[in-house]
Every structure is written in C-alpha cells, then in structure tokens.
Homo-oligomer: A and B are copies of this chain.
Amino acid sequence: MTDTTTPTPPPVLVMIDRVTLDDPPLAPGETGWRVVPADEPQIDVADLGLTRGDGIFEGLGVVGGAVQALEPHLRRLARSAAMLDLPALDLDVIRSACLEGARRHGSDAPLLQKLVVTRGIEGGDGRPTAWVRTEVLPDHDAERRDGIAVVTLDRGYRHDVAETSPWLLQGAKTLSYAVNKAVLREAARRGADDVVFVSSDGYALEGPSASLVLRLGDAFVTPRTDQGILPGTTQAALFEILTELGHAVSEELVPIGQLSSADALWLVSSGRQIAPITTLDGAAVPVDAALTAQLVEALEARRR
C-alpha cells in the first residue's frame, strides 16, 4: 500500500526567556520568548528539571489552531509553581509563547503542546528554564471509539495526604513523573492500557495523566481534588458540556467499591480528550458509545 499521507510536520520549540515577574520588564518590542531549532539540544545537564525532576508542566491540546483551555492551564501552572515555591510566573509572556507555538506550527492536525518550567541551573542565577514545544498529537481515535482496559493501582498515600503532608507535592503537576510512567508499564504487564490510582485508604483518585469521570445513574461524578489530585482542565470542560446537556455533575469522595457499580467510566485528558473504560481490573464496564461519541465531538469542537 502506498503511503499517500503527508509527512508529519516537525515540532516547534519556543524557549521562554522572561519566565517570572522577578525578571527585568520587557523593553518595547521584546516578546520574552524566542523560536529556536527543535532538533538541537537546548538544556544544560545541570538543569534541576533534569537532575531532580524539579519543575512543573502542562500538556495543552490545540485544535484548528486554537489552544484549548489555555487560561485554566495557565492557572494550574501558577498553582503548581506556588506549591513548589517557584517565583511568581509571568503568565502573559508564557501565554504569548503558547499562542506563538500554535501559530508557527500551522498544521491543521490536532496538536499537543508541552509547556515546562524548571527551577533552572543548579548553582546558577536562580532563574527558571522554560519552554513550550508544539507537535502533532498522536492519533487516539481507536481509544476514543473502542475504549481502554484499565487497572487500579495503589498510589501508596492516604486520600488526605495533601493536607497532612504538603511537602509530598501531591496535586502539583511536577516533572517528577517516573512513577506515572512506571504504573503504565505495570498496567501493560497486566494486559491493560491505563491506570486509575487509588489511595491507600480506599478511594479512587485519577489516572497517571488523566481525570476519572463516573456515571452513576443520571449523575456524573469526578473525585474531589482535595485528595492530592489535579484539577482536570478537560474534566472541567466536560462538566460544562454535560451541564449544558442537562446532566447533574459533582465532585465527590469515590470509594473504590463505587467503580464496579458505575454505569460508565471515562478517563479524560488534554491529549486523548476522552476515552471510555471498557474493563476495570479485568471486569467489564458498561459503555455508552453514543454518549461518548457526542462528548468526543463536543470536546474537540472547543475553540478556547
């Protein structure tokens, strides 16, 4: 079969120079960021983001040239920065760098942006390192349509650990995601595609890179974010859509047992947007294909 598809456009990399409000103000005409070659090394081996996973990130979807949920992502980035005692960020420069990345890439295909802020060079001048990299999003159509097999794995912490032990940074979106990748390898060993973290005291929490949404009768529920989990930007957009459709939505404590009695389960995130869970720990989960297709379409149609 001849491959008639066009080649994937290369990533676009925007390094952000004015990352924090402590930096000197921009001179007239300065942007605070610069577009650099994405295929050349840009990072020092002594960067604390690299040597200590000491930094924060966001993953943003771009559809039809529009960065989705940009303001909620920027707010969450600022929240993570505060949890890590990073300096206050210049969100205006960061916003403008994200918009420039999407504009420069110019592809019609759905894109993914990774926005990163690290604590900067160890022993350096204390200035964070930051960039936004924009690339074509991998195709997730099959998972959205056919669903995903999910296993529950213990996060190891109690559900209230963010309140008792804030130094564990639960609920901050940090670069220290080795565990979030390790659980995916454990899921693969169990024949599954993805994971729902559960607390050591029996509550369902979130995926390693997605929010969990349950349908319980007519109500749509997501686990409460005071359990050291992320406020989901795509989950928030989904709840707006569901509300417009006339459904009840709420944030709750979700005991693990409630998962097996749910009328449907989804994982929602900025890249894949929404995928129905078809099996949980090997047991079949009801799937509402028509509703899922409707939600996929509504999430993709967002222009902000």
Q: Is A79 an interface residue (CB 8 A)?
A: no
Residue pair A177, B41 in contact (C-beta under 8 Å): no
Mask, A25-52, CB within 8 Å of B = 1, is: 0000000000000111111111111111
Number of copies: 2
- A179 interface residue (CB < 8 Å to B): yes
Is A133's beta carbon under 8 Å from chain B? yes
Q: Would A84 and B178 be within 8 Å (CB), given that A42-B45, A131-B45 are in contact?
A: yes
Bound: A176/B57 CA distance, A: 14
The yes or no answer to A237 lying at the interface (CB within 8 A) is: no
Q: Does A174 contact B (CB under 8 A)?
A: yes
Q: How many A residues touch B, CB cutoff 8 Å?
A: 57
Please tell me if A247 contacts chain B, counting CB pairs below 8 Å: no
Is the CB–CB distance between A200 and B57 below 8 Å?
no
Residue A2 lies at the interface, judged by CB distance under 8 Å to chain B: no
Tell me which of A89-97, A142-150, A163-171, A276-284 binds B: A163-171
* Most chain B beta-carbon neighbours within 10 Å: one of A44, A179, A200: A179
Most buried by B among A50, A118, A133, A161: A50
With an 8 A cutoff between CB atoms, is A175 at the interface? yes
A289 contacts chain B at the CB level, 8 A cutoff = no
**Which residues does chain B contribute within 8 Å of A164, judged by CB atoms?**
154
Choose the segment among A64-72, A182-190, A217-225, A264-272 that binds chain B (4+ C-beta atoms closer than 8 Å): A182-190
Answer whether residue A181 sits at the interface, using C-beta atoms and an 8 A cutoff. Answer: yes
Q: What is the CA–CA distance of A104 and B199 in the complex, to the nearest angstrom?
A: 49
**Contact (Cβ within 8 A) B47 A133:** no
Residues of B with C-beta under 8 A to A183: 167
Cβ-based interface call for A53 (8 A): yes
A51, A153, A178: which has the most chain B beta carbons within 10 Å? Answer: A178
- A229: CB under 8 A from chain B? no
Say yes or no for A300: interface residue by CB 8 A criterion.
no
Pairs of residues from A and B, 5 with the lowest C-beta to C-beta distance, nearest first: A53-B53, A176-B176, A176-B178, A43-B43, A53-B176
